[in-house]
């Protein structure tokens, strides 16, 4: 597989890289640097009085019980979303991998939710689960279940987990399906000849061969749950009731945009940035190097 293409000279490759580098610099590096700088400042909203406070903002953030609460929420939320989204997607992919009628239609339908914007997805779920106007919400209340996610923190968490996981199932589904289809038939047939039943074949042959895909998806799902679920939470619960569904990324928004506390918000986003960096490192070390596709 060692067929590399070499450019003559250096100008052309640099020139070709330039647009991407420029985009990265303007949209990622510059704002990131500003966030780091802002995180060391105490500043009023209008930027009229500024003072350098070093790491004080970070100390305050970490000592803040509300931030710790949000961190805990994020852990619960991200784990639940990842487990649910991966589990459902794997199940669906295994089913879709079988020879069934209308396979294409079935697959297309499953991929669809990924194209739905988070806010719209949230509204769809709201219309299902709202205690007063939601189809399922009303049915639950009529059936005697006290369903009101506006007041019950656990129900609110359940709802945002379901809504977020639903959106990510499609993405996982595509990857799992591709993973399943790349498993050589001969291996499965050999296992079958050896007398392994379907369930056993799945756990001893298919699942291990899927592990690189699974691990990759796990990291992607965690990153998604950490950073891409703002829209769902904002549209469904706004972090409430109480602070039951306030995740770290949502708190960054609330403190920065609603409360205009820029220093604290910046410090929080820098912490999140470190988290992404760690996840990326894990991704590269364990997935891209050690596991062979």
Partner 1 sequence: MLRRHLAAAALAVLALAGFNRPAPAQPAPAAPPAAPVEIQFWHGLPQPLGGLLEKIVSDFNASQRQYRVVPSFRGSYPETMVGAVAAFRANAAPHIVQMYEVGTGTMLAAGRAIRPVHELLAATGVNIDFNDYLAPVRGYYQAADGRQMSMPFNSSTAIMFYNKDMFSRAGLDPNSPPKTWQEVEAAARKLKEAGISCPMTTSWPAWIQVEQVLAMHNQPLATQANGFRGMNAEMRLAGPLMVRHMQNLVEWQRQGLFRYGGRDAAADGLFPSGECAMAFASSGLRARVVREARFQWGAAMLPYYSDVQGAPRNSIIGGASFWAMNKGAAANATRTEAEWRGVAEFFRYIASPEVDAKWHQDTGYVPVRRASYELSRRQGYYTQNPGSDVAIEQLIRGGAATDNSRGIRLGGYVEIRTIIQEEMEKAFQAGQSAQQAMEAANTRANAVLRTFERQNSRPQ
- Shortest distance (Å) from residue 144 CB to partner 1: 13
Those residues with Cβ within 8 angstroms of residue 90's Cβ, 6 or more apart along the chain or in another chain = 172, 176, 210, 214
- Shortest distance (Å) from residue 158 CB to partner 1: 15
- Single out the residue of 108, 218, 118 nearest to residue 172, CA to CA: 218
Would you list the DSSP string of 47-115? SSSEEE-TTHHHHHHHH-HHHHHHHHHHHHHHHHHHHHHHHHHHHHHHHHHS--TTHHHHHHHHHGGGG
In the bound state with partner 1, the residue whose beta carbon lies nearer, of 59 and 192, is 59
In the bound state with partner 1, the residue whose beta carbon lies nearer, of 163 and 270, is 270
Angstrom distance (rounded) from CA 56 to CA 125: 40
- Shortest distance (Å) from residue 112 CB to partner 1: 20
Those residues with Cβ within 8 angstroms of residue 35's Cβ, 6 or more apart along the chain or in another chain = 266, 269, 270, 273
- Shortest distance (Å) from residue 84 CB to partner 1: 20
- Shortest distance (Å) from residue 255 CB to partner 1: 8
Those residues with Cβ within 8 angstroms of residue 28's Cβ, 6 or more apart along the chain or in another chain = none
In the bound state with partner 1, the residue whose beta carbon lies nearer, of 30 and 72, is 30
Does residue 238 contact residue 230 with C-beta atoms inside 8 Å? Answer: no
For partner 1, the binding residues (CB under 8 A) are 24, 27-28, 30-32, 34-35, 38, 42-51, 132-133, 150-153, 216, 220, 223, 226-228, 230, 238, 240-243, 249, 252-254, 256-263, 265-266, 269-270, 272-273, 276-277, 279-280, 283, 288
In the bound state with partner 1, the residue whose beta carbon lies nearer, of 107 and 130, is 130
Does 241 sit behind a cis peptide bond, omega within 30 degrees of 0 on the bond before it? yes
In the bound state with partner 1, the residue whose beta carbon lies nearer, of 35 and 82, is 35
Would you list the DSSP string of 102-117? THHHHHHHHHGGGGS-
Backbone angles phi, psi at 52, to 5 degrees: -85, 125
Does residue 81 contact residue 217 with C-beta atoms inside 8 Å? Answer: no
- Shortest distance (Å) from residue 58 CB to partner 1: 15
In the bound state with partner 1, the residue whose beta carbon lies nearer, of 113 and 241, is 241
- Shortest distance (Å) from residue 91 CB to partner 1: 24
Q: Which residue in this structure is represented by tokens 């706004």?
A: 238
Q: Which residue in this structure is represented by tokens 């820098």?
A: 270
In the bound state with partner 1, the residue whose beta carbon lies nearer, of 18 and 32, is 32
- Shortest distance (Å) from residue 3 CB to partner 1: 22
In the bound state with partner 1, the residue whose beta carbon lies nearer, of 176 and 216, is 216
Strand partners, 43: 50
């Amino acid at each position: 597989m060692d067929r590399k293409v070499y450019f003559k000279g250096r100008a052309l490759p640099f020139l070709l890289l330039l647009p991407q580098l420029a985009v990265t610099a303007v949209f990622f590096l510059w704002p990131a640097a500003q966030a780091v700088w802002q995180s060391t400042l105490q500043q009023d909203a209008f930027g009229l009085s500024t003072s350098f406070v070093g790491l004080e903002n970070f100390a305050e953030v970490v000592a803040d019980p509300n931030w710790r609460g949000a961190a805990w929420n994020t852990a619960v939320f991200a784990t639940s979303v990842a487990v649910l989204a991966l589990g459902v997607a794997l199940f669906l992919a295994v089913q879709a991998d079988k020879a069934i009628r209308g396979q294409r239609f079935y697959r297309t339908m499953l991929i669809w939710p990924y194209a739905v914007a988070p806010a719209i997805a949230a509204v769809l779920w709201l219309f299902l689960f709202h205690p007063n106007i939601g189809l399922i919400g009303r049915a639950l209340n009529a059936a005697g279940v006290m369903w009101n996610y506006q007041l019950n923190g656990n129900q609110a968490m359940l709802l945002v987990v379901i809504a977020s996981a639903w959106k990510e199932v499609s993405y996982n589904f595509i990857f799992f399906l591709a993973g399943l289809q790349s498993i050589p038939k001969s291996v499965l047939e050999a296992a079958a000849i050896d007398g392994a039943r379907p369930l056993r074949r799945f756990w001893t042959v298919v699942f291990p061969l899927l592990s690189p895909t699974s691990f990759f998806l796990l990291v992607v799902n965690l990153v998604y749950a950490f950073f891409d679920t703002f829209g769902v939470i904002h549209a469904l619960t706004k972090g409430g009731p109480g602070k039951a569904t306030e995740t770290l990324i949502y708190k960054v928004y609330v403190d920065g945009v609603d409360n205009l506390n820029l220093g604290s918000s910046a410090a929080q986003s820098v912490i999140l940035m470190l988290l992404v960096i760690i996840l990326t490192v894990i991704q590269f070390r364990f997935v891209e190097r050690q596991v062979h596709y």
